[in-house]
Amino acid sequence: MKRVIATAAAATVAALLVVGCTPGSGGDAGSSDPKTFEFWSFTGINQKVDVDAYSKAHPDIKVKLTEVGSTTETAQALTTALAGGKVPDLVLIQGDDLPKFMQSPENFVDLSTLGADQKKGDYLDWVMNQSMTEDGKIIGIPTDVGGLAVAYRTDLFKAAGLPTDRDQVSKLWPTWDGFIDAGKKYVQATGKPFVDNTSTSVFFQAVNQGTERYYDANRQLSYDKNPQVKAAFDLALKVHASGITSKITSWSTGWTAGMSKGDFAVVSAPAWMLNAIRTNAPKTNGKWDVATIPGGSGNWGGSYLAIPKRAKNPKAAWDYIAEMQSPEGQLENFLSKGNLPTTPSVYTDPRLVGKTDPFFSDAPVGKIYTESVLGVKPFYIGPDDATIGSELINAIISVEQGKLPPAKRGTPR
């Protein structure tokens, strides 16, 4: 497994070396106009909503938003820019990609010099600590966390003779074994798959529920001897063997279409996933609900805003961060887009606690997701986390697709 990961890492480096251009390559990405700043984001999270809200409140400020591509593509473009290309004034970095950039903090503005040291207490400690160096520099401000839950089709559950009330559904699976049992009952009643896949809906949920993932408490790689990783990997294989999955890879065309067609009844859904379901299956409005994740808590996702060292307008970028990622700003973001705040001071706010989602049968999403996050056991995320996670997920996908027999799966042991 180590060799596979090393090969993947080498391929990633090679890909970076052949990138021909990056956003803004036609000129300086940062702007010399103090009322204009360049902002790079990844796609799929509708960052334009935030930018439009900020521009409306500050009509004299111009934000040049570029949605670079996927989280990986955005990280690659930023890596190339930091190596000598044109950098933006502000960039959004996905949480699992951040540790790679934390290895070279000199490439970024220490946000404590702009006032972040006075605000770091506003955020969940375990989230904020990921963007701080050992000597106290602050490289990024967290924008959101995922929280874990399960989205399920009430109409399909009803047809299978399963309960549809979210509290009763949650009681079906206090553990992952309970989840498997519920899935078997569904398949037996309908002859159709229960869950979309094992790679992201099972393995990646379970591995994010532990106290240690791919690095140990001493920040040393430990994935190949960590019993929690092995247990999550073996759980995914167990779910696969149970015959309850549709074997449809997340974010594939079949997966997005399957949400509408009822090709699966269940998908593990961090807070931000609800928007993906709503976007990909608009005609299923009111047919979904949200239940507790097996195990009760966990987190998948989250991002950070950072300012490259060579940014032309770091002050304008910081003003944006300070306003949009304040506790009130994050609360408003949750109410408008569903991104779960990293600011615990708003977790008791009636607007968050009382937030329901009509698309998901008026599920109390504010309460469900904050309770999930508050139960998280923090673990260190290291520079190779994204690569290791991708390789383990790809191995499980290969098993699901029949390309890798389970007996030859190469578990991380």
**Domain residue spans of the chain:** 2-145+301-353, 149-299+358-408
Position 148 scores a pLDDT of 95
Position 337 scores a pLDDT of 87
Instruction: Indicate the average pLDDT of the chain.
Output: 90
pLDDT for residue 409 is more than 60: no
- Give the single-character DSSP code of 214: S
Q: Mean pLDDT over residues 335-354, rounded?
A: 94
Say which CATH topology domain 2-145+301-353 has. D-Maltodextrin-Binding Protein; domain 2 (3.40.190)
- What is the number of alpha carbons within 13 Å of residue 351 lying toward its C-beta? 15
Q: Is 298 within 8 Å of 372 (Cβ atoms)?
A: yes
How sure is the predictor about 406, in pLDDT bands with cuts at 50, 70 and 90?
Answer: low
* Tokens standing for residue 202: 């099972």
* Tokens standing for residue 393: 């997920």
Q: Mean pLDDT over residues 315-341, rounded?
A: 95
Residue 391: partners with Cβ closer than 8 Å, 6 or more residues away: 1, 4, 5, 8
Largest CA distance in the chain: 64
Position 34 scores a pLDDT of 78
pLDDT for residue 81 is more than 60: yes
Q: Mean pLDDT over residues 222-240, rounded?
A: 96
**Cα gap 275→360, rounded to integer Å:** 11
**So what's the architecture of 149-299+358-408 in CATH?**
3-Layer(aba) Sandwich (3.40)
Q: Is 131 within 8 Å of 102 (Cβ atoms)?
A: yes
* Measured torsion, CA atoms of residues 108, 111, 112, 113, in degrees rounded to the nearest 10: 80
Position 31 scores a pLDDT of 52
Q: Mean pLDDT over residues 33-46, rounded?
A: 89
2-145+301-353 with 149-299+358-408: one CATH topology? yes
Q: Is 276 within 8 Å of 58 (Cβ atoms)?
A: no
Q: How far is CA 311 from CA 92, 142, 197, in A?
A: 14, 19, 42
pLDDT tens-place string over residues 100-145: 999 999 999 999 999 999 999 999 999 999 999 999 999 999 999 9
Q: How far is CA 142 from CA 166, 223, 250, 326, 400, in A?
A: 30, 25, 25, 10, 34
C-beta contacts of 110-116 below 8 A and 24+ residues apart: 110/137, 110/138, 110/139, 111/138, 111/139, 111/140, 111/141, 111/306, 111/307, 111/318, 111/321, 112/136, 112/137, 112/138, 114/314, 114/315, 114/318, 115/318, 115/322, 116/141
pTM: 0.86
Position 46 scores a pLDDT of 82
How sure is the predictor about 404, in pLDDT bands with cuts at 50, 70 and 90?
Answer: confident
**Cα gap 144→142, rounded to integer Å:** 6
Q: Mean pLDDT over residues 309-319, rounded?
A: 96
Q: Mean pLDDT over residues 30-54, rounded?
A: 86
pLDDT for residue 25 is more than 80: no
